[in-house]
Chain A
C-alpha cells in the first residue's frame, strides 16, 4: 500500500480574514489520499486497482458482483483485496464503489481503454456558427433610413434591442407584448441572431439565461401572467449574475385580469417578485422614444452589472404610436460584458474587483466554469459556509448600492420653484406633465418628478427634490405601489401632505383628474 495523488500536486489552500483568523482551510492532499493496491493481471503488469477509502461509502456492490474471492469485505465493510495466490488470474473488474463497478469483467479493458486508432470523430457539426451579428447588423443599419417614423412602443423596444446588439430572443406569445416577439422573429434571422418561441414563459427566461451563459446578449418580452411565471428564473439570473433583459408590458391584473387594458401593477413585483433578497434594476419609459433608449440602456446595464434587468412598459405605451426619429447607430452607445483575460485556472466566475463589476467567461471559451443556483463561493461552487454565503449576498447588494449614481435616472420638470410636486412614472407621468402645464397656466407652482429608473429607488434624489415642496401628488394605475416609497421618504416630515390618486379599472388617469384632485387637496 502506498499513497499516490492522481492529477498532480495540489497545494494546501488556506484563506484568512483581515484579522488573521482562518476562515477556510482546505487540505487538498488530505482529500486526495488514495490507497493503492498493486494487482498483477495477465498481459498488463502495470495495472493497479485503486480503492479510494476516503470516498468509499461501503455500499457493498463491488464485493457482491466481482468474481468470487477477488474482493472481500473488510470488517469495516470497505472492500479489500485478499491477496490470494490464485488471485492474479482473475482480474478484478471493479473500482471503488462511488464510481462504477463494471459488471462485465471480460470487456473491462475494451470498454475502459479509449482505443486511439479507432477514435470516433465527432459527428460533423450539424449547424455552422451563425455569422457574426455585428457585421451583419452594421450592414443592415447602414441601409436603414434614419428618418422620422410613426412607431409603436413595442416596435421601439424591438429596434432598441437590435441596436443594443441583442442576438438572442426566446419568448412566448402574450398580449400586450406579442409585437416584440413578432418583430424580432422577422428581424433576428436577418442579422444571424436567434429567435425561438418556447413552450412557456418559464422556458423563455431559462433559454435566454442559458444563451447568455454561452455568450449571447439575450432578451425576452412578456406581460403580467408570464412575468409571474418568470420570477424563479429571474432570481436564478440574479444569483448567477447572468446578463439578460426581461421586458414586461404591464396589463391589468391580478391573474388574467384585463389583457388589453393598462395598469401599473408590477412596480413592486418587479422589485420583490422573486423569493429571497435579490436587488433589482428596473427601468420605466414614458414615451416611444424612451422605449427605444431605455431598451438599449437595459441591455447595457445587464451586460455591465451582470444581472437580469427589467424594463417595465405600460400597455398603452406598448401599443401607442408616436413620431420618433431613431438616432444614427454611430451615436448609440453599446456596452458589452468584460471578457476575462486571465488563464483559465485563475478565472473566478464571481471575482471581487472594480466595484463588483467582474469579467464573465462564456461556455465554449475554454474556462470550464460551474454555474449553480445554490449559494456559491467566488469560483461558483456551492457552499454552506456562513462567511461565503454572506459574501455572496453582500456582493449582490453592493453591486447595486455602490453604483447607484450610475444606475439612477430621474427627470425633474418645472421643479425649480415648485411648491407642489407630482411624482409619477410611465404613462401616468405623461398625464402629469400635461397637468403641470395646465396648473402653471393657472398660476399654481407645480412640478413633476419622474423616475426613469424605479429600482433601485432614487431615495436621495427624491428626498432632495422634495425638500422645499409642501404637497406631493402621487398618481398611479394601481392600489398604491409607488406611493409606498414616497411615504417612506416623507414620513418624518409633518409639514408635507400626500395626495394619492389611484385607479385600477382599465382607464388612464387624465391630466384633468390630477388637476382636480390636486386642487381638492390644496
Chain B
C-alpha cells in the first residue's frame, strides 16, 4: 500500500482512543489536526520529542488523539504549562493547540508574555469565533453584531485581531490562514515549528453547528466556501483596491524574523554565570 494520506495520519493517531472524535460534523478541528499531522510527518522529528499541549475547549481536545507526548491542561493555561516543559527540556518541540477563547480571553496574559519572551513554542490557534464546548457564548473574536447565546441581540463589543495582538506583543513568527486552505496550513505549521522563537498561527475555522446556526451561515460546506471566497492572500492585498480587501481575512505570513530566543538566552546566561565560578 502506498503512503496515502490516510496511512500517514494513522501512524500518528492513538487508534484505541475514542474514535470517532468528539467534534461536531463539519467542525474544522479535524481538518486542522490532519494538517498538523501531515506537516509533522514531512519533518524529521522523533515523535518522542514532540509535546502537544492544550487548554480547555473544542480545539484543545486535539492532543488526546495523537501519539505524541500530550498534555491537556487548564482553561487558558496551555502556554504557561508549555513554557515549563520547554524550559526544562529545550530540545523538545512544544506545540500548543488552543482556541480563541482559551488563548485570548482567559489565557491572554500568557499569550502576550510568551510572545514577549520569544520562547520557542508553536501556538496553533484555531479561531472559531465562539465558545463551542460550552454551547455558543461570545468570545473575544466573535464579530461585532454577530449572535451568540450570551449576546442574543448581537455582540456590541469589537473583536480582537489576534495576529495584530501577537505582533504587538513581539511574536517573531505570525501567520494567518483558514481551515479551508489545508495545504497552506500544513506549510505554515511546518515553517512555524522550524522557526526558532515564538510562533503563532491563527487558523480561522468554521463552527457550523453552533456559530453557523446562530448566525444563519448555512451548513459546513457553505462555511468552508465562505472562508474560501472571503479570504485574500497577503501577496494580493497590495494589488487589490482597498474596498475589495475590507472585511476580508488576510492570509499569509505576517511576520517572520529571527530574534534572540528565550531558552537559548537562558542557556547563555547559565554558561556566563558558571564561567564566573559560582560567585555572583
Please report A residues at the B interface, Cβ cutoff 8 Å: 6-7, 10, 13, 26, 28, 31-32, 44, 46-50, 54-61, 63-65, 95-104, 107-108, 111-115, 119-123, 125-131, 136, 139-140, 143, 167-168, 170, 186, 189-190, 192, 194, 196, 198-200, 202-204, 206-216, 218, 232-233, 236, 362-374, 381-382
Chain A-chain B contacts (Cβ-Cβ < 8 Å), number = 300
Q: Which residues of A contact B44 (CB under 8 A)?
A: 119-122
20 A-B residue pairings within 8 Å (CB atoms): A7-B10, A60-B219, A63-B221, A64-B225, A99-B30, A99-B31, A108-B5, A112-B3, A127-B91, A128-B267, A129-B89, A129-B90, A167-B88, A210-B53, A211-B84, A211-B85, A212-B84, A213-B84, A215-B88, A367-B69
Q: Is the CB of A120 within 8 A of B194?
A: yes
Q: Is the CB of A368 within 8 A of B34?
A: no
Q: Is the CB of B43 within 8 A of A206?
A: no
Q: Is the CB of B17 within 8 A of A189?
A: no
Q: Which residues of B contact A114 (CB under 8 A)?
A: 3, 8, 41-42
Closest Cβ of chain A: how far from B12's Cβ, in Å? 10
The answer, among A31, A96, A210, A366, for a CB contact under 8 Å with B83, is: A210
A87 to B25 alpha-carbon distance, docked (Å):
27
- Considering the complex, give the chain B residue whose CB is closest to the CB of A93: B5
Q: Is the CB of A199 within 8 A of B109?
A: yes
Q: Is the CB of B83 within 8 A of A373?
A: no
**Interface presence of B160 (CB below 8 A):** no
The answer, among B25, B49, B64, for a CB contact under 8 Å with A381, is: B64
Q: Which residues of A contact B93 (CB under 8 A)?
A: 122
The answer, among A58, A200, A207, A364, for a CB contact under 8 Å with B48, is: A364
Q: Is the CB of B80 within 8 A of A206?
A: yes
Q: Which residues of A contact B23 (CB under 8 A)?
A: 57, 98
- Which one of B125-133, B140-148, B242-250, B270-278 is at the interface? B270-278
The answer, among B38, B70, B266, for a CB contact under 8 Å with A370, is: B70
Closest Cβ of chain A: how far from B36's Cβ, in Å? 10
Q: Is the CB of A381 within 8 A of B80?
A: no
A96 to B9 alpha-carbon distance, docked (Å):
12
Instruction: Given A194-B266, A365-B48, verify A100-B90 contact (CB < 8 Å).
Output: no
The answer, among A111, A122, A199, for a CB contact under 8 Å with B194, is: A122
Q: Is the CB of A101 within 8 A of B270?
A: no
A515 to B273 alpha-carbon distance, docked (Å):
52
Q: Is the CB of A57 within 8 A of B71?
A: no
Q: Which residues of B contact A170 (CB under 8 A)?
A: 83-84
Chain B 58-81 interface mask (CB, 8 Å, partner A; 1/0): 000001100111111110010011
Instruction: Given A214-B92, A236-B74, verify A46-B2 contact (CB < 8 Å).
Output: yes
Closest 10 CB pairs of A and B: A210-B84, A100-B34, A59-B26, A64-B221, A206-B80, A57-B25, A207-B84, A210-B81, A211-B84, A372-B72
Q: Is the CB of A373 within 8 A of B6?
A: no
Instruction: Given A99-B34, A214-B88, A382-B64, verify A207-B80 contact (CB < 8 Å).
Output: yes
The answer, among A57, A121, A363, A381, for a CB contact under 8 Å with B51, is: A363
Q: Which residues of B contact A58 (CB under 8 A)?
A: 25
The answer, among A49, A56, A99, A129, for a CB contact under 8 Å with B33, is: A99
Q: Is the CB of B15 within 8 A of A32?
A: yes
Q: Is the CB of A363 within 8 A of B34?
A: no
Q: Which residues of B contact A121 (CB under 8 A)?
A: 44
Q: Is the CB of A194 within 8 A of B278?
A: no
- Considering the complex, give the chain A residue whose CB is closest to the CB of B35: A100
Q: Is the CB of A203 within 8 A of B278?
A: no
The answer, among B63, B68, B83, B221, for a CB contact under 8 Å with A65, is: B221
**Interface presence of B45 (CB below 8 A):** yes
Q: Is the CB of A192 within 8 A of B274?
A: yes
Closest Cβ of chain B: how far from A385's Cβ, in Å? 12
- Considering the complex, give the chain A residue whose CB is closest to the CB of B272: A189
Closest Cβ of chain B: how far from A242's Cβ, in Å? 10
Q: Is the CB of A196 within 8 A of B83?
A: yes
A169 to B63 alpha-carbon distance, docked (Å):
26
**Interface presence of B230 (CB below 8 A):** no
- Considering the complex, give the chain A residue whose CB is closest to the CB of B67: A368
A98 to B224 alpha-carbon distance, docked (Å):
14
A218 to B224 alpha-carbon distance, docked (Å):
45
A354 to B10 alpha-carbon distance, docked (Å):
36
A365 to B88 alpha-carbon distance, docked (Å):
13
Q: Is the CB of A214 within 8 A of B84?
A: yes
A364 to B53 alpha-carbon distance, docked (Å):
14
